[in-house]
Structures are given as C-alpha cells and as structure tokens.
Amino acid sequence: MQPDAGPFTAMPQDLKRPMIHIVKALEDTIGAPPISGISLMDMKWRQPEIKRTKTVCTYCGVSCSFEMFTRDRQILKVQPVVEAPVNGISTCIKGKFAWDFVNSEKRLTTPLIRENGRFREASWDEALDLVARRLLDIRDMHGPDSIGFIGSSKASNEEAYLTQKIARLIVGTNSVDNSSRYCQNPATKGLFRTVGHGGDAGSIEDIEKADLVIIVGSNLSENHPVIASKVKAAKKHRGQKLIVADLRKHEMAERADIFMRPKASTDLVWASTLARYMFDHGYADTEFLNSKVNQVEEYRKSLEPFTLEFAEEITGIPREQLIEAGEMIGKAKSVCLLWAMGITQHSHGANTSTALSNLLVVTGNYGRPGTGGYPMRGHNNVQGASDFGCLKNMYPGYEKVTDDKVRAKWAKAWGVAPDELSDQVGEDNFLMVQHAKEGKVKAMYVIGEETAFSDADSTNVHEAFTKLDFLVVQDIFLSRTAEFADVVLPGCPSVEKEGTFVNTERRIQRFYEVMPPLGDSRPDWRILTDLAARMGHDWGYNHPSEIMDEVAGIAEIFAGVTYERLEGWKSLSWPVKADGTDTPLLYTDGFHTDDGKAVLFPLEWEKPAEEADGEYDLILDNGRMLEQFQSTNQTGRGPRIWSLSPNWFVEVSPELAQELGISEGTWLEVTSRRGTVEVPAVITDRVSGRDLFMPIHQGKPGINKLTGEHHDPDVNTPAYKETAVKVRVMDRTMDHSPLPPENFRNGHRTPMAGVEVEVKWRQDDYVQPPQHTSRPERF
C-alpha cells in the first residue's frame, strides 16, 4: 500500500513530520502498544475510503489480472490474487508499479485541432464533426481505399471491433490493421499454414506441464516474466528440460539445458535440420503423421538439403549440439515451443515460424496437454485486436473478407447488401505508409499506436505522414505520431473504462472501470460510436457488453462469450461454443483445416534481405527490456520505473570492445544505411562476436532511425532484426555505466546464504512450500 493511504499518513507533509516526532517522543514514555493502536486506527479508518477493483494489466501479452486499490484518482496498491486465472499471485515490475502514466500531467484531456500549424483546444462536437466530414469527403472524392485505419493493440476487443466496423461498413475499405503487423503476423501465418488457428495451441498451464520447453528468439524472463517464472518453477520442481536458441545469452539461456547460439536470421535452417533428424533417427510420430497430417512425403523431400553439415555451416551451431538437441526433442514425451520477435521480425519470419510449427507436427506435439506452438504476444491485446477484425483480410473471428458467404453473413448482420462490403483484401500498416508517401492513401485514422516511432525506417514514415491530406490520432498522450495529426482525440487507458482483452493464450478477460475518465477524455468505444453516428450510422451502444453481444451473434468462435460468463475472475479461451464451453487446448479433435488434418509445409532457406558486408560489418539486434515498454509513453511517465533504466545504450561484446578500444560508457556513433544515432556502450557477454544489441525504448530518434524498408514478403512485417551497421568510437565517455549500479544486468548475482544463484537454479533437493492461501496479502 502507498505510504499515504490512511487518514493520518495522508495528512500534509508540514503536519506529518511534526506528528512523527511527537509519536517517537511518546513511544519512549508510554510504550509501543498505544502507538500501534494509532496505526491500527489509521488502517481501519482508511478502509471505507478505499475502492478495490479488478483490472487487467495494460502491458505485455500475458495480461495479468489483479485488484487495484484506489482512493479517488490515487492508485494506492496493485494486488495480485490467487483467483487471477493467468498469473495468480505473480506480477512483474511494470504491472505492479508502472501506473504513474494514468494521472500524468501530460495526459490529453480535450480534443485538439491543428490550425495554422499549431494545435488548439476544441469541443468534442467540433472535433468529431470535422473528422466525420473530412473522412466522408475524402472517401467520396478519392474512393474508400484512400483511407486507412490502424487499430490499437492496447484498446479493448470491443474497440477493435468498432474500428474495423467503421472502416468496412461506413468507409467501405478493408484497409484496417493493428500492431501485430510489426511483430506477430509471421507467427500467425506459420500457424495458419500448418494447423489452422492463429493463436497459441494451449494455455500457460500446458507450458508448465511440458516435458520439454523450447524457447526461440524470445527473452522470456524480461518480455513475459510471469510465464518465465512458471517455466523456471517447472524446471526446478519437476525437472522440465529447457532448450534455448537465441543470439543473446539472457537469463533463460543461462538456465537452459542446451543453449544454441545461431547466426542471425538462420533459425529456419536448424529447425528444418532437426525435423529431418526426427525422420532419419526414428523420432517422427509415424502414427500421428499417417492419420492426422497432409503433405508428409512432399515435406520430407523438401528436407533433403538440411543436413547436419549444412546446418553447422550456415548457423554456426556445432554438429554435436544439434545432435544433442535432436535427441532431447525426439525423446521428450511432450514439447512446447515458444517464439517471439527474434523469429518474426526478419525478412522471412513467416517461413521460420512455419518451420518451427513443422517440427512440432513431425513429432506429434499438437493436440495433447503440454504440447504445441506458442507465439508470445507482445501487447496486452495484440491478439484481441486481430481476433476482433483489425486485419486487412479478416472479419472478426478470422473470417475471410474474400469469401462470398462470409461477406453475405456480415452484411446481413450489419443491415446492408453484400455488395456494399468490399471483397478486396485491404492494405496493411506497411502499405498504408508506402502509399501515403506516394499520394495514393489520402487519410489515416490511428488509434493508440506510436507508428511514427515504432515503424521501421522512421524517416520514411515521417515523410509519408506529412503527405497525408488528413490524419486523425486517438491516444492518451500527444505522441510522436500525434505531432503529425490534424485532429487529436483524447481516449482513455483501460483503468478508466470497461471492456475485454485477449491474452497470448487466447484467454478473454474482463476489466472494470477503476476510476472515471480524466478531464474531458472519453472511452475509445464511445468516441468511435459517436463518430459513427456523425457519419450516418447511429449504432446506439450504451455499454461495451452490447458490442460483445453483437460480435458473439456473428463470429462463430465467440458464440458463447458474454459479460456474465466473464464476471469477476472468470475467463474464456476461444473458440467458445454457444453454451459457453471454451477451448483452452486446441486440436484435440482435429485441426482447423478443411479436412481436419495438419499440413507439413515445404520450405527453402533464403538469405536475409540485409547482411553485414565490408562497410557495414556488424549486425544490430534490438528488443525490449523488463523495465520499459515500447516507446515509453507509459513507462516513461514516472520516476519509479524510469529510474531503473533511464539511458539508451548499445550492448557490445567483450571481444569487439577489445578490438575497437571501447570501454563501459564510451559513446559510439552507430550508422546504418538509413541513418546514424549516438549511444553509450555497455560491455557484456550477453552478446557475442560482431553482434550488437540495442533496446527499442529510449532515445529521441529511436532504433528505427537505423532500421530499413525491407520486410517479409508474405506478411509485410518489417525486418527490424536485419540491420547492418558500422560504429565509430567517439571521443567522449560517460563517467559511469549507462545502467544504474543497482540494475540487475550489472555485475555478479548476489549469492544467497553463500550459495551462488546459478547453483540454486540447478538445486535438485528443493522442497516446494505449502500451498498459498487465497489471501496472499496476509503474508
């Protein structure tokens, strides 16, 4: 609880300090019990003033839920509880402490309209009337596809649904997308190709049950720490095996039974080689393949080039280690494979994701507890934004816009003729920006996405935005993207509204309004509903539950989803039948394909679009940190989180540092084929050789000053991880490390009772403590 939660402790500082002195003096004369009594009175009297509300975290795709304790607008405590279906009593540092942004003085609280090159405040009527008029005028003059919509991966499912409904029903375009284009669309593509559903095969509980967990291209302990804690516990308590494949030696790599360090952009090779190893050494699940899988022989023939010798040459992974990994996978009774942006953000991320799913199919690791493929979603509702239709080719529930029967169904539900809904696949984020630069896209509506900072090759994005005739940004802060806008509409964070989210395991959870909207800001579903009315479609929603009821009545995979079934701590994993039966584990009765069989998808390895050469001789990796999130629009609003890692930095290997004469804190000029940034160095063995790593969060220009235009041709996801750079050692240095002294990345882990932490990880005599009670705050 915050220290100023009670009536005594909440008194002004100029009164509180003298009171503390008086209490200390009295304690010496009257003893401790009366003083303790005052404390108990303070605790008792504060209870009626404190509101406790269930909410869902607004950061990563784990989507932890917890109780938030508030007094008026003051957030006093965030309390995980055993009843929370995903996290129980666990949460990470952001979920626990990174809520200062809610009451930030920088919050947008009134609409803004650009006039004579500057923003001025406006009423909601004026702003929404302007947006409605301009969008309709541009549609009528240039056609529906001249307008693009980017929905928010932080907004609710209901708000994602309304975003695509405005785009498709009112504007007439399928050009609607969300931030999954930047990260997880390649994973979804790989799953669609092989098993049919664009989501995790099972639940987090299945990951805990697995005999073997494989983590590829994911810094799980920093990006999804609650899931990582469950893997750590399963390894320690049950002896679960762990294989990690990554460029960086992060914590999960240190804990792994096998840590493979492939060269950048070569994961498809080792994954396909291990699939061949399964066939060649009798580990392929023949019964599963014969009865439940198509294209087995075609796929097996495609594996001929993937020998152990070829894999060692291309990936740099020693042959012996590949064999060791192959044996561990082949002998495991159940395997879960987790991957993230270290796989997807490449020029062939969809193919690599497919290769990983192929490996699981070959070994029969789908449709059983403790098995399956698990792309780790990055945002709290990036799964939901896609599930509820913010995709260029899918209606909500992954129903194809090109399917005449599907389009007729949605047209009937929305009360229009089928030919009023477009049958053409729309444009995604990447193409919207490109075509805005070329003058084909005239207007964009961006909700809660920091496109100007997060999209690759940011210089190109900024130029595209300046060429738009009209840009609307709906957000809670005046973001970098909003700086280009003609109209800015102030939305609300999740704690100021109601709705639902879908997490990385397809779990739908309900969140509640903790406090009313700040100032004149509004819930995003209400903004979109009011805008639609001004565009001639008065839908009349009064509560998000009405929106969910509409979706459930149309999209088959949400048929049984209701707010009543999501009451309190209850949750549902899609698909959900009309009677409310949900599906935590997929594929137990077949695969989501036309004939119910999985598909082994033949692949060829292709070189990355950008490699190191004689001039740009280093490869720059990039990703997230535990302490920050994305562009820091949220985590950067308060000192508690920001102070843990306030500086941008680049990780340099000890061998490269020695070669170039780089010391801790030395400033480096890092230059790619697109631009240059200046950043201090951190010397660490987390990276090796000529690989660098830079966080994506800090820095005014940001990492995307360096990243390029190349992208995955299958899904148009930028190849953020394929950035060749060169460095110049600058003649200046920080007088300290870019990381604070207490940062966990510094130095050696503190021994516990004289025992090194790494030894405790391997401790095999660990005794699990008794089960926690239902009220962990008592401890």
Domains detected in the chain: 112-182+383-557 (3.40.50.740), 185-375 (3.40.228.10), 618-733 (2.40.40.20)
Residue 482 vs residues 341, 441, 446, 456, 522: alpha-carbon distances, Å: 26, 18, 9, 17, 17
- pLDDT tops 90 at residue 27: no
Q: What is the pLDDT of residue 183?
A: 84
Q: What is the pLDDT of residue 422?
A: 98
Q: What is the pLDDT of residue 769?
A: 56
Average pLDDT over residues 375-386: 94
Average pLDDT over residues 239-267: 97
Q: Which residue has the higher pLDDT, 633 or 724?
A: 724
Label residue 735 by pLDDT band (50, 70, 90).
Answer: confident
Could you tell me which residues come within 8 angstroms of residue 746 by beta carbon, excluding any fewer than 6 positions away?
A: 737, 739, 740
| Most confidently predicted of 29-38, 509-518, 639-648, 734-743 | 509-518
Label residue 773 by pLDDT band (50, 70, 90).
Answer: very low
Question: Which one-letter amino acid corresponds to residue 761?
Answer: W
Q: Which two tokens stand for residue 754?
A: 């004289």
Neighbours of 725 (CB within 10 A): 23
Question: Which one-letter amino acid corresponds to residue 359?
Answer: L
Cα–Cα distance for residue pair 173/468, rounded to 1 Å: 17
The string of pLDDT tens digits covering residues 200-233 is 999 999 999 999 999 999 999 999 999 999 999 9
Ranges of H-type helices in 363-446:
382-387, 404-414, 429-437
Cα–Cα distance for residue pair 109/318, rounded to 1 Å: 57
Average pLDDT over residues 54-61: 96
Choice among 9-13, 390-394, 451-455, 611-615 with the minimum mean pLDDT: 9-13
Q: What is the pLDDT of residue 768?
A: 59
Q: What is the pLDDT of residue 766?
A: 60
**Which of the 8 DSSP states describes residue 170?**
I
Residue 570 vs residues 55, 59, 85, 546, 600: alpha-carbon distances, Å: 12, 20, 7, 19, 36
- pLDDT tops 70 at residue 726: yes
Label residue 469 by pLDDT band (50, 70, 90).
Answer: very high
Q: What is the pLDDT of residue 767?
A: 62
> CA nearest 119: which of 482, 631, 519?
482
Cβ atoms of 336 and 366 within 8 Å: the answer is: no
Label residue 640 by pLDDT band (50, 70, 90).
Answer: confident
Q: What is the pLDDT of residue 39?
A: 66
- pLDDT tops 60 at residue 775: no
Per-residue burial over 62-97, b = 16 or more CB atoms within 10 Å of its CB, e = otherwise: bbbbbbbbbbeebbbbbbbbeebbbbbbbbbebbbb
Q: What is the pLDDT of residue 778?
A: 36
Label residue 38 by pLDDT band (50, 70, 90).
Answer: low
The string of pLDDT tens digits covering residues 382-409 is 999 999 999 999 999 999 999 999 999 9
Cβ atoms of 42 and 9 within 8 Å: the answer is: yes
Q: What is the pLDDT of residue 629?
A: 81
* Averaged pLDDT score across all residues of the chain: 92
Q: Which two tokens stand for residue 358?
A: 């192929």
Cβ atoms of 102 and 110 within 8 Å: the answer is: no
Q: For residue 237, which phi and psi values (nearest 5 degrees)? A: -85, -35
Cα–Cα distance for residue pair 29/705, rounded to 1 Å: 66
Per-residue burial over 338-349, b = 16 or more CB atoms within 10 Å of its CB, e = otherwise: bbbbbbbbbbbb
The helix (run of H) or strand (run of E) holding residue 47 is none
